[in-house]
Structure 1
Amino acid sequence: MEGSVEWNESLFGCFDNCGICLCGWCCTPCLFGRNAEKIDDSNCCLWCCIYMCLTDCAICWYPHYMKRKLLRQKYDLREDPHCGDLFATICCGPCALCQEARFLKRQDEQPNDSMHLVPNTRQPGRNY
């Protein structure tokens, strides 16, 4: 299923957030675990360990690919036509993780519309 929303973060915009960039390059499994937790309430430590173990077998891209697809489905994101999910996770894994982390951070920072709804307690016909 093709999403309708464009990514608001570039795949190669790693330096847009230096903290995420450092985490992505120095502790890639940890960033993957944090992203997985935000995507579908997964266990951060479990996914960090899975990613770390699969790195030795050179197949850590597979769970990353699956979580990236979930992220796109959850937020109705369009897959990049030039650099699809599979290519991004295999060839640019840390960059893709940083892109996802920046996207998720931006989602966390956006206010939820329902949080700003104030119930109307005024009764009709009364002036306060």
Structure 2
Amino acid sequence: MAYQQQQHYQSQQPMPTMGMQREWSHGLCGCFEACGTFCYACWCPCIVHGKNKQRLNHLNNNGTPDPDGGSCCSGACWGHCILTAFAGLGCILQCMNRGEVRGRYGIEGGGCGDCCASWCCAACDLTQVSREIELEEKSFGQRY
């Protein structure tokens, strides 16, 4: 019974209730459970950030998942690429996106934790954010 409840929990995005906050659905170090996304985030973090940002924006603006699954060459991707290549500061954009995801899903935490996660473990941060967005997308009955 507990296994079935856990499976159900991991397949749907828990939405926030008024005044209540929750933890992330997957831990920061749970990035290895999504090995493909994690590898992408290690070698091409700008692409994963761009996809995460576009998927989140589509959910915010349209209330449905992005049918393209997030374009890899969006403005957010290029912004991350330029900030990372010239100043090593792509984590700033990741920190802001992480805050948006926390706000949308009522996840506890704050700006300091977002900055630390984005700065100290950028690939794990990108993977965790992607997985959180993916839970909502899956709740629409589509596979991403």
Instruction: Please confirm whether the aligned pair reaches a TM-score higher than 0.5, indicating the same fold.
Output: yes
- Where in structure 1 are there 5+ consecutive unaligned residues? 113-128
Amino acid paired to 1:89: S
Could you tell which deviates more after superposition, 14-23 or 42-51? 42-51
Partner of 2:89: 59
The yes-or-no answer on 1:34 pairing with 2:51 is yes
- Where in structure 2 are there 5+ consecutive unaligned residues? 1-18, 62-69
For this pair of structures, how many residues does the alignment match? 109
- Higher-Rg structure is 1
Partner of 1:73: 103
Could you tell which deviates more after superposition, 71-80 or 48-57? 71-80
- TM-score between the two structures when normalised by the length of structure 1: 0.76
* Maintained 8 Å contact 1:3/1:72: no
Give 1 or 2: higher helix fraction. Answer: 2
Give the whole-Å Cα distance in 2 for the aligned partners of 1:5 and 1:49.
32
Identity level (%): 26
TM-align CA RMSD = 2.3
The yes-or-no answer on 1:101 pairing with 2:130 is yes
Give the whole-Å Cα distance in 2 for the aligned partners of 1:15 and 1:23.
12
Secondary structure of 1:13 counterpart: helix
Q: CA deviation at 1:50?
A: 0.3
Q: CA deviation at 1:100?
A: 0.6
* Maintained 8 Å contact 1:3/1:73: no
Q: CA deviation at 1:53?
A: 0.2
Partner of 1:118: none
Q: CA deviation at 1:106?
A: 1.8
Amino acid paired to 2:99: K
Partner of 2:119: 90
Partner of residue 16 from structure 1, selected from 30, 33, 42: 33
Give CA-to-partner distance per residue, 1:51-86, whole Å, 9 cap, x none: 000002111111111111111111111117xx8111
- TM-score between the two structures when normalised by the length of structure 2: 0.68
Give the whole-Å Cα distance in 2 for the aligned partners of 1:3 and 1:87.
23
* Maintained 8 Å contact 1:30/1:48: yes
